[in-house]
Structure 1
Amino acid sequence: MSTTLSTMDADAATDIDPDVAAALGDEGLTYKVWGGDWCPDCTQQLPQFAAALDAAGVAADRIEQFPVEKVDGEKQGPGMDEYDVEYIPTVIVFDGSGTEVARFVESADSDIATYLARELADG
């Protein structure tokens, strides 16, 4: 059974830079996304990121979603300890051999897709 975040429903109104889409759509890249449907940063940022992945042609089986809950003021969710996830949204990009090649954590000077595309280009 696949676990999903409603915040990863693509925002169809989003315009995606073709260079960003090309970087995100690179064959072999996979994505792990941590977020919470209750989290304001996630609900603001993840729909646009999902639209970018759609525009890049990234198949759903290359995107793994990890819902994070808030329990007694603490964020809890699958894989958080294993991947050292503390803040959400967090998106980790892996190459074909399973090596982490880029990571977005909570916020940056640009949207998630643009940030990750820049990280992938610099890598």
Structure 2
Amino acid sequence: MTLETLAPDGTDGDALGDDVLDALGGGDYRFKVWGGDWCGDCRRQLPAFAAALDAAGVPDDRIEDFPVTKGPDGKEGEAVDEYGIELIPTVVVESADGEELARFVEDADVSIAEFLARELAEGEASA
């Protein structure tokens, strides 16, 4: 990983409910994470998300991080344009074949892990 903020900081991912951990670790999902070590929102949210992925048993090879910098025209970095990244942190969950299943952008009323677990559960319920 190249994002320092995407490393568990001692936050207890196991403190999340089994439903959240099962949703994150239950599929063959790929997690793509855009963030910046300079970004306050990323420093606040990504370590807990990393701990949740760890507690859910998501292997490192299914987590891809994309460091973002501030440029004169907005966010810059790998795949920023391709994925339409404007705010960070952004986490995109994809199926093994690359279909986008859920997306977290910058902030929500719950943690990144809880938000994505809810989105994934709703997606499976409507499938």
Range of TM-score over shorter length: over 0.9
Aligned pairs for 1:34-113 within 5 A = 34-72=34-72, 74-113=74-113
Summarize deviations over 1:18-50 as a string: whole Å, max 9, x none: 211110002310000000000000000000000
More helix by share: 2
Matched residue type, 2:22: A
Cα separation, 2, equivalents of 1:63 and 1:47: 13
TM-score, normalised by the number of residues in structure 1: 0.93
1:22 aligns with 2:22: yes
Indicate conservation of the 8 Å contact 2:31/2:91, yes or no.
yes
TM-score, normalised by the number of residues in structure 2: 0.90
Summarize deviations over 1:64-123 as a string: whole Å, max 9, x none: 000001134732111010011110000000012210000000001100000000000000
Q: Which runs of 4+ in 1 moved over 4 A?
A: none
Measured on the aligned residues, the alpha-carbon RMSD in Å equals 1.2
Which region of structure 1 is more displaced relative to structure 2, 38-47 or 22-31? 22-31
Instruction: Provide structure 2 residue ranges, at least 5 long, that are not aligned to the other structure.
Output: none
Cα separation, 1, equivalents of 2:74 and 2:110: 27
Identity of matched residues, %: 57
Q: How many pairs align?
A: 121
Cα separation, 1, equivalents of 2:78 and 2:48: 23
Matched residue type, 2:59: A
Instruction: Provide structure 1 residue ranges, at least 5 long, that are not aligned to the other structure.
Output: none
In the TM superposition, residue 52 of structure 1 has moved relative to its aligned partner by 0.3
Aligned pairs for 1:2-13 within 5 A = 3-13=1-11
SS at match of 1:48: helix
Cα separation, 2, equivalents of 1:75 and 1:96: 27
